[in-house]
């Protein structure tokens, strides 16, 4: 305590009066940045080891710091650490406790660094670890998608455009379209991680330090690829946080699109799939209801993450170099994006392998929507009719089917020949659903053998991660 009874600040030498109690609470970040405590301790250990290497700290002082920080870590892990809003943030809380434990040597730890480069380092360490955890969950989700796709390489369902029946596809093919979205997300995650994997430690407040530090040493100790190049940019850059939130927004956009399809498919009007009860809830008034709450909630989360991305873009848009207090506002949206992305991925990774397709309903929906109309047009083209003429012929045949409530495959040969004398007995080979999907036998097509091959390629990519 200081002479006036106020808690002593680690930076208080220049000030002649205590911080206003409201301002103290308003400017503090420890309530949310304490989640970076382990990263802060790790960064401090690397910094202390470097200071010893260059002769700023003695071996005995380094040992004291390492022992003290180990005790602080244990207190935090056991939930015994007393966090103080008066000490503002995670960094000053840990340093103050270290000084309580080991005395004046604890005050030497901050030599050659600033909270500016300290927090920049901690955020990168934290977010790098979050990227790795997210990558694991994303791979788990993709593995479930790919496995389910392989199981249903020949399960026929309608493919849609404008949410209208278009052409038959297989359920496995549709699931592999999901995987392509997720594969791009994984690539963006890796790119984001690679760009953030540079160490700002040693940039100090904004201009570097007069001490003979070895930034390459601390970068290597913290598993960074290399130190950052410019001290001004090092302490003020938050591109990596924005890029991560952009990744999160795109990933959640993809999960939201998948959620929309799951919600539609589980409805009584479609009945394409069943979700196990553990991923659904009921109604307090309607006993028959089984609501797909997990995909509905994931669908809603995209707005939250999009908002965080806009918040960070707005936060940085007018900041002059170098560090500004504004940057304290980067953490809560970033942390919530991490939590939201991880939770949504976990929910989907658990749920997707448990999806139960209702194959009979899917097939009937594909059969009843004239989904093989394009196949009939292609058939006529192969017989020599120009495509535009074939398109008109098939349109008339579909009109007849609508009027008489029958599918193309249900019309007899004489009826079909009434629309074109090029049609023969072999037309029924292309009008079946199985014939339609099997005919699209090329890379990226919906033919069952292509779906199996694509699923195998996807599985091998996932195993190679």
Catalytic residues: 162, 283
As to burial, measured by CB atoms within 10 angstroms (0-12 exposed, 13-18 middle, 19+ buried), residue 33 is buried
Three-state secondary-structure class, residue 201: coil
- Angstrom distance (rounded) from CA 207 to CA 230: 9
- Angstrom distance (rounded) from CA 93 to CA 37: 10
- Angstrom distance (rounded) from CA 262 to CA 445: 23
Three-state secondary-structure class, residue 430: helix
- Angstrom distance (rounded) from CA 177 to CA 163: 16
Say how many Å lie between the first and final Cα of the chain, rounded.
53
DSSP letter for 284, please.
S
DSSP letter for 281, please.
B
Do residues 272 and 365 lie in contact, with contact meaning Cβ atoms separated by under 8 Å? yes
Give Cα 64 distance to the centre of its chain. Answer: 41
- Angstrom distance (rounded) from CA 193 to CA 1: 43
Beta-carbon contacts of residue 108 (< 8 Å; ≥ 6 apart) = 51, 56, 57, 61, 65
The residue among 10, 115, 91, 102 whose CA lies nearest residue 61 is: 102
Q: Measured on CA atoms in the order 203, 37, 222, 315, is the torsion positive or negative?
A: negative
Q: How many residues does the chain have?
A: 465
Q: CB-side exposure of 260: number of CA atoms within 13 Å?
A: 9
Three-state secondary-structure class, residue 18: coil
Looking up tokens 């139960």 gives: 356
- Angstrom distance (rounded) from CA 144 to CA 146: 6
As to burial, measured by CB atoms within 10 angstroms (0-12 exposed, 13-18 middle, 19+ buried), residue 435 is middle
What torsion do the CA atoms of 89, 92, 94, 95 make, to the nearest 10 degrees? 170
């Amino acid at each position: 305590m200081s002479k006036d009874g106020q808690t002593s600040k680690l930076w208080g030498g220049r000030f002649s009066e205590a911080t206003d109690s409201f301002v103290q609470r308003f400017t503090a970040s420890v309530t949310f940045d304490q989640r970076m405590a382990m990263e802060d301790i790790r960064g401090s250990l690397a910094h202390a080891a470097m200071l010893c290497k260059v002769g700023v700290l003695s071996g005995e002082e380094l040992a004291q710091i390492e022992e003290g920080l180990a005790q602080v870590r244990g207190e935090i892990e056991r939930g015994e650490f007393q966090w103080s809003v008066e000490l503002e943030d995670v960094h000053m809380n840990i340093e103050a406790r270290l000084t309580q434990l080991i005395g004046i040597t604890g005050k030497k730890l901050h030599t050659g660094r600033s909270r500016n480069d300290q927090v920049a380092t901690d955020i990168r360490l934290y977010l790098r670890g979050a990227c790795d955890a997210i990558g694991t969950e994303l791979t788990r989700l993709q593995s479930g998608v790919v496995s389910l796709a392989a199981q249903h390489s020949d399960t026929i369902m309608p493919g849609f455009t404008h949410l209208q029946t278009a052409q038959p596809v297989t359920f496995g093919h549709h699931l592999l379209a999901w995987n392509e979205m997720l594969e791009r997300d994984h690539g963006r995650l890796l790119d984001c991680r690679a760009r953030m994997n540079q160490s700002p430690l040693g940039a100090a407040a904004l201009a570097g330090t007069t001490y003979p530090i070895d930034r390459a040493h601390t970068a290597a100790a913290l598993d960074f690829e290399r130190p950052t190049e410019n001290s001004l940019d090092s302490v003020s850059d938050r591109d990596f946080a924005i890029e991560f939130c952009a990744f999160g927004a795109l990933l959640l956009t993809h999960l939201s699109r998948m959620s929309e399809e799951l919600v539609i498919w589980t409805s009584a009007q479609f009945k394409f799939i069943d979700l196990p009860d553990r991923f659904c809830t009921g109604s307090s008034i309607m006993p028959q209801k089984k609501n797909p709450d997990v995909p509905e909630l994931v669908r809603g989360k995209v707005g939250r993450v999009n908002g965080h991305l806009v918040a960070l873009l707005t936060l940085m848009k007018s900041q002059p170099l170098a560090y500004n207090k504004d940057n304290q506002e980067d953490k809560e949206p970033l942390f919530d994006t991490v939590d939201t992305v991880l939770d949504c991925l976990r929910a989907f990774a658990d749920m997707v392998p448990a999806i139960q397709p209702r194959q009979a309903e899917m097939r009937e929906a594909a059969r009843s929507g004239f989904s093989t109309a394009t196949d009939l047009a292609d058939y006529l083209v192969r017989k020599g009719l120009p495509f535009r003429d074939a398109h008109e012929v098939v349109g008339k045949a579909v009109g007849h089917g609508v009027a008489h409530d029958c599918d193309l495959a249900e019309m007899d040969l004489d009826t079909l020949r009434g629309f074109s004398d090029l049609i023969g007995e072999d037309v029924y080979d292309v009008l079946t659903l199985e014939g339609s999907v099997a005919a699209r036998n090329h890379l990226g097509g919906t033919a069952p053998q292509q779906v199996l091959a694509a699923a195998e390629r996807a599985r091998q990519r996932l195993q190679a991660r």
